[in-house]
Amino acid sequence: MRRVRAEILSTRRVGVYHSLTLVAPEIAERARPGQFVGIAMPAGRSFLLRRFYFIHQASRRGGWAGTLEFAFEPDGVGAEWLGSARAHQFLDVMGPLGRPFAFPRRLTNCLLVAEGHGTAALTFLAQELRARGKRVDMIVGGATEEAVFKPIEVKRVSQTVAILTGDGSLGTKGRPVEALPEMAEHVGAEVVYAAGPRELLRAVAEFCREHRIPAQVAVEERMACGIGLCFACTVPVVRKDGSGYDNLRACVEGPVFNPARVLWDRWMADIPRMLPTPPGGSPVVGSWPG
């Protein structure tokens, strides 16, 4: 992980999103799909914490040394401030953060399911999968046509694409997960990747468990430090031996998790995550199923 002062090379509007390209070779050359950056905000009470965004593109070569791009909806104070940033301004950026998606060694047919800005993370993944000779198909969506992130680029990086929008303004009316059963069968999905709202990730988890398809999901949990120090971002994940679960930090042990091991009910319920310290145990370890 690096912390750099990165110049904004360009800013763009992409539907409802703002997209920023930064000159950050130290981060770009290490960036992998599923990882994210933490952007420092200007001084001020509502700006105390960094804001975190998935890396959408990382160009390791070219005239501009190494650039990276991320995209966001300007719907909160931090993102609004970032949306007003201009080319040649400098940002304090930490990254790449988190554990990236793993690439399948033997399996070939990869189905990627994304909603909203999750598509930014998965288009990066699609490119890297294709570079490894994998077949990529995608299901993407958003509330409206404007909320479908870069549909033309999605078509460019995938063999077939299903687009769904909440209001039916682009593609079929509905949510991306609704197309999953048909698309998975049609393309012979062997691995599923997903990014987007928790409901989508949970539905993908259930589908893949039922159909015995390996899957990986990139979760979003509120973060404070972004580097594993504060335990603000924990997700309950069952241990490999099934003996219980650990509250894993999305910023260092995630954001990519095996969805079959996430305790979705527990994570989605608004419960206190810091459990009392059991005798001789870690303060962040709970018991199954609890």
Ligand X SMILES: Cc1cc2nc3c(=O)[nH]c(=O)nc-3n(C[C@H](O)[C@H](O)[C@H](O)COP(=O)(O)OP(=O)(O)OC[C@H]3O[C@@H](n4cnc5c(N)ncnc54)[C@H](O)[C@@H]3O)c2cc1C
**Residue ranges binding ligand X (CB under 6 A):** 36, 49, 51-54, 70-73, 76-79, 117, 120, 220-223, 255
Question: Minimum Å distance from CB 196 to ligand X?
Answer: 10
Which of 233, 235, 237, 263 touches ligand FES by CB under 6 A? Answer: 233
* Stretch touching ligand FES by CB under 6 A, among 75-83, 115-123, 188-196, 223-231: 223-231
CA–CA gap between residue 226 and residue 38 (Å, rounded): 7
Tell me whether residue 126 or residue 223 sits nearer to ligand X (CB atom). Answer: 223
Strands (E) across the chain are located at: 2-14, 17-23, 36-39, 51-54, 57-59, 67-72, 90-97, 109-115, 135-142, 161-165, 172-173, 191-195, 215-218, 234-238, 245-249, 256-257, 285-286
Four-CA torsion 79, 237, 267, 208, nearest 10 degrees: 90
Measured from the CB atom, the residue of 28 and 233 that comes closer to ligand FES is 233
Nearer to ligand X, 72 or 267 (CB): 72
Position 284 contacts ligand FES (CB under 6 A): no
Which residue's structure tokens are 């319920």? Answer: 269
Closer Cβ to ligand X, 73 or 246, answer by number: 73
Asked if 229 touches ligand FES (CB under 6 A), the answer is: yes
Interface contacts to ligand FES, rule CB under 6 A: 223-226, 228-233, 249, 251
